[in-house]
Structure 1
Amino acid sequence: MWIVVTNPAGPAASDAPERLLVRTRPVEVDDLLALLPERDFLAWVHDGDGIVGWGRAASFDVTGPDRFAAASRWWDELRHQAVVRDEIEAAGSGLVAFGTFDFAADGAGHLTVPEVVVGRRDGRAWVSTIGSAIGPAPELRPTRRPDRPGPVTFDDGDVAAWTATVAAAVERIEADQLDKVVLARDCRADFERPLDVRWPLTRLARDYPACWTFHVDGFFGSTPEMLLRLDSGLVTSRVLAGTIRRTGDDAHDAALAGSLARSSKDLEEHEYAVRSVSDALQAHCSAVTRSEAPFVLHLPNVMHLATDIAGVVPDGTSVLSVVADLHPSAAVGGTPTAEAVRLIAQIEGLDRGRYAGPVGWIDGHGDGEWGIGLRSAELAPDGRSARLFAGCGIVADSVPADELAESEAKLIPVRTALSPRD
């Protein structure tokens, strides 16, 4: 069974989806990504745990400023009609949809309900089958290894123009038009033959286990930033802003981490991002707490200033309704956010697509995990090219050459993952 709803203006009453039957059973699974078929799969993994899926039992596409609300209405109708037998009762078991949303407010949103979902969490693993009828559980075994990519050619675009744009943004900030703006750049990768996206995905998951490695509808990456997790009424968010590149020398990196934690420029940028998420959560939560001070998150290529935020939401809250108010945060837009997003549209000269937009999943209880689509790439439909993205937070003290170096560091994870070398 395949349900497809496409409605740019949002779902109408006549868009009622067909009832789905869902069965979740316990299984034994060692490697989630090893189960993925060559095509038509979805993934969300973190340090070996997470969920993966394939096939399509239902999907929903929407465009416009009402996209989060439209997706929430469609999902609520679908989950309330579904018949679910769940022997696991964990976040991500039972009925699940994977999704992505564009960065732009008038952009697109997409949800897909797979026919098969395999998950693992806290030492338990399960398989869910979703469709118009319930059959036997599928046989789970490793699929054929992904093909090694052929030669890859990268085009970094007009670097001088991007640094000039950074300088122009600094001038706007110094003129007191805003406090911070996040500017993105992209580069293009061309492949000799169509890319098997499982290749970069497995390498990202291996090299960046502390990040959330994802693939939804040709959009893939490994994000270090959890926009929102909702689990049984508890919401958590991890805010990253302020970055320094690692050198590979442990002693030098320790000194760099100390300088990052003391940097007035980076602390200022970080506080803008934390405040924007905290303020947005206040509207949904009975209480919001945050780390007393930022900590330094160490990743293989960079280090970030990070702050964890938590809150409690009322019963029945959907993760998508909270995500709608959190996006875009100052970490990917700027401060004040509305003015920063307008400036991005004026000077960035880039269609971000799903870069820096929410990506993740929602389950039948309305719980889920949604990251910010960073350290990511958008694969062309023919698989022969991809756009890689990186962004930097620009404040009054920003130096264009330094921001260029930071963007290069942020491109490293996907660039390396696309290499044909193991």
Structure 2
Amino acid sequence: MIEVKLKSFESLLSKAITKAKTTEYNQLVSMTEEIHEVDPVRFFASAKTLSMDRVFWTSTSEQFSIVGVGCAWNIELEENRTETIENHWQQLLDEAIIDNPYQVPGTGVVGLGGMSFDPSVRKSSLWNKFSHRSFQVPNVLLTKHNARNYLTINLQVKANDDLQELTEWVEQSKDILVNSSERLPECAGIARQQEIAPDKWKQTVKLAADKIKAHAAQKIVLARELRVTMTDDVQVASILRNLLEKQPDSYVFAVERAGDCFVGASPERLVKQDNNQLFSVCLAGTAPRGKTEAEDREIGENLLHDDKNRSEHDFVVKMIRQSMEAYCDAVHVPETPVIHPFRNLQHLYTPVTAQLKRGYSIFDIIEKLHPTPALGGVPREASKDFIRKHEQLDRGWYGAPVGWFDSNRNGEFAVAIRSGLVQGDKVSLFAGCGVVKDSDPEAEYKETMIKFRPMLSALEGRQ
């Protein structure tokens, strides 16, 4: 079976080299095969020896994982134009040579990556390795779907490429990634933590509340940074393992760019596409978990009837419904939210379903939805303007869409919260909260401390 696949791939590569010589353009070749079971985290860890960028994505509740290694094709933009991404993507697919008999979501030609929260903001040095919009088609892609495992090889072939060298690289890479039996590296411990200007942040919360009282906005979301120094360089694979164990029902992700890695476990889906079917989630309004079942239920009930949190949640519901109606038919939104518990927190939750209209893509929906009131505020432009002027950090990819999309109209993006940027032995963690007219700066500060817990727990490796 493996030998047959290799011969088939050699044939595709030979065809691509010939086409590249004729057209004088590089050619993308993609081939997918079903393989034995492979641990996605081990696959990710093994890729470190190849010195290539890595991307990890898991929807834990759906038993779906994608791990990408290397970059066969790059769509990287500093401008904020959705149609540019779509044009790049369609041109790539039109010219690619693809052999994928499975048509399973997340196999074949897949783009993985994300974007900045606010591309109009000049990047700080913290995020200089991350473009405002960056999606890569990996050289090697592992996909786990419904307990089955698939491996896709994507190569950008040039006219002067040597067929034997390409096939040897493929076999060597597959052996390293698929057959590795190495133990996962241990996670370094936390040496110290530094809150970035907490008092100044509380003052900004008060300023935002005053602006809202003066009717300059209805809600403004403010984020802050906690800088963590580890005892040694961070092993991202160990963080992923911890997040998968500690954050069930979350989207666990990691996007690596030139050694820096943005990693997290988000509870919030922005949008999922299954052909023309769309799914989104309204997730706003937060409370801690209780120490007992009775206390947990009481906190949940209080959250469900709390005016501030219900108001925050209703902002999100209204905005997502309106955004979906612009590009979709059959939009369905339940009348009232329910409590959705996670490991450390519980949230108000409302699911949304819709049918995508002909001629639109997942990126049209993303552009309409992002940022939701849960991450930006209401109204959108007024809150973003306040954030640009007064927030004490460059959010980078924090709070922005991160995810994947494929050549068969499938894809999914989460809102990149509960996250941090890993740089050697340093990790910048991010957390935010929604400010309304009655917000108390100290209470909002405590809420962000709760939201730091999932990533701090994963870094420490503790329960």
TM-score (norm 1): 0.91
* Unmatched 5+ stretches in structure 1: 1-15
Partners in 2 of 1:17 and 1:377 — Cα distance? 38
Q: Which moved more, 1:152-161 or 1:233-242?
A: 152-161
Partners in 1 of 2:303 and 2:187 — Cα distance? 38
1:229 aligns with 2:272: yes
Partners in 2 of 1:59 and 1:319 — Cα distance? 19
Partners in 2 of 1:258 and 1:164 — Cα distance? 31
Deviation at 1:124? 2.5
Structure 1 counterpart SS, 2:133: strand
Deviation at 1:315? 4.5
Structure 2 counterpart SS, 1:138: helix
1:206 aligns with 2:248: no
Deviation at 1:88? 1.8
Identity %: 28
Alignment partner, residue 342 of structure 1: 385
1:273 aligns with 2:286: no
Partners in 1 of 2:120 and 2:87 — Cα distance? 18
For 2:137, give the aligned amino acid. V
Deviation at 1:270? 0.3
For 2:355, give the aligned amino acid. V
Match of 1:43 among 56, 65, 73: 56
- Structure 2 CA distance for partners of 1:249 and 1:389, relative to 1, 3 Å: same
Instruction: Name the larger-Rg structure.
Output: 2
Alignment partner, residue 29 of structure 1: 37
For the Cα contact (< 8 Å) 2:276–2:355, is it kept in 1? Answer: yes
Partners in 1 of 2:319 and 2:142 — Cα distance? 35
Deviation digits for residues 92-119 of structure 1, max 9, x if unmatched? 1111111110001325111111111111
Deviation at 1:256? 0.4
* Unmatched 5+ stretches in structure 2: 1-23, 122-131, 158-165
For 1:236, give the aligned amino acid. F
1:62-211 to structure 2, matched below 5 A, reads 62-66=77-81, 68-106=82-120, 108-131=132-155, 132=157, 138-139=174-175, 140-142=178-180, 143-211=182-250
Partners in 2 of 1:121 and 1:292 — Cα distance? 33
Structure 1 counterpart SS, 2:392: coil
For the Cα contact (< 8 Å) 1:186–1:390, is it kept in 2? Answer: yes
Alignment partner, residue 9 of structure 1: none
The structure in which a higher percent of residues are helix is 2
Partners in 1 of 2:104 and 2:241 — Cα distance? 25
For the Cα contact (< 8 Å) 1:38–1:196, is it kept in 2? Answer: no
Q: Which moved more, 1:148-157 or 1:51-60?
A: 148-157
Partners in 1 of 2:67 and 2:25 — Cα distance? 23
Partners in 1 of 2:147 and 2:392 — Cα distance? 46
For the Cα contact (< 8 Å) 2:217–2:379, is it kept in 1? Answer: yes
Q: Which moved more, 1:80-89 or 1:141-150?
A: 141-150
Partners in 2 of 1:297 and 1:416 — Cα distance? 20
For the Cα contact (< 8 Å) 2:190–2:228, is it kept in 1? Answer: no
Match of 2:355 among 280, 297, 312: 312
For the Cα contact (< 8 Å) 1:276–1:330, is it kept in 2? Answer: yes
TM-score (norm 2): 0.83
Partners in 2 of 1:84 and 1:22 — Cα distance? 5
Alignment partner, residue 419 of structure 2: 376
Alignment partner, residue 293 of structure 1: 336
Partners in 2 of 1:316 and 1:21 — Cα distance? 27
Structure 1 counterpart SS, 2:27: coil
- Structure 2 CA distance for partners of 1:150 and 1:367, relative to 1, 3 Å: same
Partners in 2 of 1:124 and 1:17 — Cα distance? 35
1:391 aligns with 2:432: yes
